[in-house]
Amino acid sequence: MDAAGEGAASEAGAAPRRGYASVLLTLFAVGLALPLLDWALRLDRAAELAENRVSAPAPHRPKSWAELKQLPKAVEAYWNDAFGFRRRLIRWHALARYHLRVSPSSEVTVGRDGWLFYAGDTAADQHRGLRKLSPDDLAAWRYHLEARRDWLAARGAHLLFVIAPDKQSLYPEQLPQRFRSSAPAPADQLIDYLKARSTVDVLDLRPALREAKAEGPVYCRTDTHWNDHGTYVVYRAIMQRLARWFPRVAARPPSDFSIRQTGPWSGDLAALLGLGGVLFERDTQLAPRTAIASRTLSADGPEPETSMHFARMQVSDAAPGAPRAVVFHDSFFMTPEERRLGQPPRTWSAPRSTLQLVSLLAEPFARSAFTWQRRFDAKLVEHEQPDVVIEERVERLLILGPEDPSLPAAPK
């Protein structure tokens, strides 16, 4: 081949390479431009992420040499939280890991058949038997529960301590094999210890919920909490225990509720994965056939000392002489809508609740105060003068101890 032919062949071969390079450069330029475009124009419609932290603020103009030196770090922190299509990229990454059965979050365990489990607060380690209550921890629980019971008894009131199970205690078969364990959990330790050494009234909800599994799921697949079926089981178990002290207290029968199917929704664990609005489930809802005979009042007493999100007073049309109650609880007594208060919009979706545990529990009481907190609030109890105090604690937080303050002296 002469030189002209070789030159023509070389030119022909170079053309595809130049075209390929041009495509790469174009894609690279678009990749650089898209985050800037979204940052400026807010093109991304992906749901907000539930990151449980405050995003880095936009840096302000430095006013001193020290602020000028900190400016690069402030710009980097802001850009890491604000660059365009960040939510969508994080969501795609999370979805890829989820399909590989690898959790995108250290706070969530991806189980079988779409089941998600909360792993924060050392819940996973507790279930595996790696975190236990020490003898001193158990003795402290006994001391403080008995002190509260005796303090209430001097005021003519009862104490009922309720343990709400973690989902992995009800559905261990849906956990990955490496997270399963036959070791006793802290809840088992505490219940066995108190049975052997104390007469404090403790209601372990696990047996009732396990029995009810045969009738259908009692917890949500993509959420930490029990579903409406589980809510009714819990309500019935608490009413049955209270009937020992108050014979006229009784739960509504199942026939008082109609059953309907929810639309697709995603819970708080899906949101923690960055997949709120992506991982969906459907469930059944229970709706009371007749109106709940309790209503909310504006608080007319002292503000609860450490209430996290939720405090309200309930009154009902109970018969004259009906008892009064104070209930310390956590998110397990809340509806999905109430639990999401204060969270970024669109991080997760929830079906509109028709079954409110607080309202159901309040029905047989003349007056009841419900507050979302772990601390025993003696001031609130003294103001309300209840006949019974219910303390509910989720299983995984038993490891933290009773958080009990010193109690005022008993009345003379």
Quick one: pLDDT at residue 160?
A: 98
Task: Please determine, for residue 407, whether its predicted confidence score (pLDDT) is greater than 60.
Answer: yes
Range in 109-123, 179-193, 253-267, 336-350 the model is least confident about: 336-350
pTM over 0.85: no
| pLDDT of amino acid 34 | 61
DSSP label at residue 120: T
Task: Choose between 84 and 323: higher pLDDT.
Answer: 323
- Work out the pLDDT band at 355, boundaries 50, 70, 90: confident
The full DSSP string for 330-386 is -GGGS-HHHHTTTSPTTS---PPPS--HHHHHHTTSSEEEEEE-SS--HHHHHHH--
For residue 412, name the pLDDT band (cuts at 50, 70, 90): very low
Residue 293 has pLDDT above 60, yes or no: yes
Q: Report the C-alpha gap between 362 and 366 in whole angstroms.
A: 8
The average pLDDT across 80-94 equals 65
- Helix (H) or strand (E) holding 152, with range, is helix 135-153
Measured CA to CA, the distance from residue 259 to residue 232 in angstroms comes to 12
Q: What is the pLDDT of residues 145-194, one digit of tens each?
A: 999 999 999 999 999 999 999 999 999 999 998 888 878 999 999 999 99
The closest alpha carbon to 50, from 330, 280, 349, belongs to 349
Q: What is the pLDDT of residue 345?
A: 47
Say yes or no to pLDDT of 132 above 80: yes
From the list 261, 260, 237, the residue with the least C-alpha distance to 250 is: 237
The span from the CA of 258 to the CA of 285, in Å, is 8
Q: What is the pLDDT of residue 194?
A: 97
What was the pLDDT predicted at 316? 84
pLDDT per residue as tens digits for the range 7-45: 555 555 566 677 777 777 777 776 666 666 656 656 666
Q: What pLDDT score does 170 carry?
A: 96
Share of the chain above pLDDT 70, in %: 76
Half-sphere exposure of 112 (CA within 13 A, CB side): 11
pLDDT at residue 21, as a whole number: 75
**pLDDT mean over 301-307:** 59
**Domain chopping of the chain, boundaries:** 18-86, 108-400
Rounded to 10 degrees, what is the CA torsion of 242, 360, 265, 338?
Answer: -100
Site of tokens 């040499």: 65
Residue 87 has pLDDT above 60, yes or no: yes
Q: How many H helices and E strands in the chain?
A: 13, 11
| pLDDT at residue 115, as a whole number | 94
Q: How far apart are CA 180 and CA 178, in angstroms?
A: 6
